[in-house]
Amino acid sequence: GWLHWERFLCGTDCAADPRRCVSERLFVEMADVMVAEGWRDAGYEFVCIDDCWMAPTRDERGRLQADPKRFPSGIRRLADYVHSRGLKLGIYSDVGNKTCAGFPGSYNHYDLDAQTFASWGVDLLKFDGCNSGTLELLAEGYRRMSLALNKTGRSIVYSCEWPFYLRPLQQPNYTEIKQYCNHWRNFFDVYDSWSSIKSILDWTALHQDSIVKIAGPGGWNDPDMASIFVFLSQLVIGNFGLSWDQAVTQMAMWAIMAAPLFMSNDLRRISPEAKWLLQNKETIAINQDPLGKQGYQITKDKNFELWERPLAGQAYAVAVLNQQEIGGPQNFTFPLTFLGNGLACNPACSVRQILPASRDWGVYSWVSSLSVEVNPTGTVLLKV
């Protein structure tokens, strides 16, 4: 889907800049563009509101309320409009007594807020972890909101920040987190920069032994859903900070990592190249593969990293990432026995390149090697 945070932040001055303000208008226009420009047909179905949508106080009955100037029709009417376009609406709250931007949080209001979101027709809740007090209160809040959402009887995707806020102090229990959450953020906000994307990839590779095994249908690691991509891990493709090769790397690696694909960009002003990349059906198919296994790094050799992700139908997605930031394209050669514990190409396999451009590479035997040319900070994504 699409999320406002990384691109639009906490813009609340609609008089000064109505097109960049967090408002009803912004989400209606994004929903319209998602339908008109093929995003919905490519699989992007959520329009997500992040922080700063609320009025500064709850209403007289203790319920959260949208800012009346920026959301004059209310969230229920906005949800109805988004649903009429064949899309789903996401919203934001916080486990603590205030959100990260200082608006009312859900502490001591978990059941009421869940009922409110359900009555509005919300389809996803991003639940942040600011101002939560102790780790015990943080964990209790995430559990209670999960149970409260289920009690409403409405299907609402539950996006947690739980492990991100735990990690500085203790190792998250991912088995427990998956019992309560549909996806969970592990790392810092994604920024519109190569250093941010690189740090997320490095962190994921470093911690893959603890996070890869838990991912699967119903529960996903989110590199950032700010946040990505993630994450939500947000996809910052289509903004200003990434080169073309770096944008290809983010799309390819988020597909390998089975990350939720939430864009944070301005779909009203996106380049044809960024649109092509974000709507690339073969890459999205890898990301959304029904087997639901997260990919992992197989080997690292100087500046090159080799990643694989098992797919349905005995296939594998393979990414060759060149972390070098200087010079020109370089070749990386590896034996096909590296893939799938030696079984991916036994006795033979077909290889198709997906990114940065699609083309068939033909059939290879089990004892063959592949040589892949990759641009600096770029990635070649293959399907084997």
Taken in order 199, 329, 237, 83, the sign of the CA dihedral is: negative
Q: DSSP code of 188?
A: P
DSSP codes joined into one string, 267-295: GGG--HHHHHHHT-HHHHHHHT-TT----
- Residue 359 has a CB neighbour count (10 Å cut-off) of 8
- From the candidates 189, 192, 222, 289, give the one annotated as an active-site residue: 189
| Spatial CA neighbour of 253 closest among 315, 308, 330 | 308
CB 85 within 8 A of CB 29: no
Chain mean position to CA 126: 11
Rounded Cα distance, 361 and 110, in Å:
53
Active site residue 94: no
Rounded Cα distance, 233 and 254, in Å:
9
Measured at the alpha carbon of residue 380, what is the angle toward residues 375 and 384, in degrees to the nearest 5?
155
Active site residue 289: no
CB 66 within 8 A of CB 53: yes
Token readout for 207 is: 């911690």
Measured at the alpha carbon of residue 320, what is the angle toward residues 314 and 325, in degrees to the nearest 5?
165
Rounded Cα distance, 137 and 96, in Å:
8
Q: Please state, in angstroms and as integers, the Cα–Cα distance from residue 227 to each residue in 9, 61, 79, 185, 222, following that order.
A: 12, 32, 21, 8, 7
For the purposes of burial, counting CB atoms within 10 Å of the CB of 42, is it exposed (0-12), middle (13-18) or buried (19 or more)? middle
- From the candidates 50, 51, 94, 128, give the one annotated as an active-site residue: 128
Rounded Cα distance, 119 and 129, in Å:
24
Q: Mapped to the 3 state alphabet, what secondary structure does 147-160 carry?
A: HHHHHCCCCCEEEE
For the purposes of burial, counting CB atoms within 10 Å of the CB of 357, is it exposed (0-12), middle (13-18) or buried (19 or more)? exposed
Annotated active-site positions, please? 128, 189
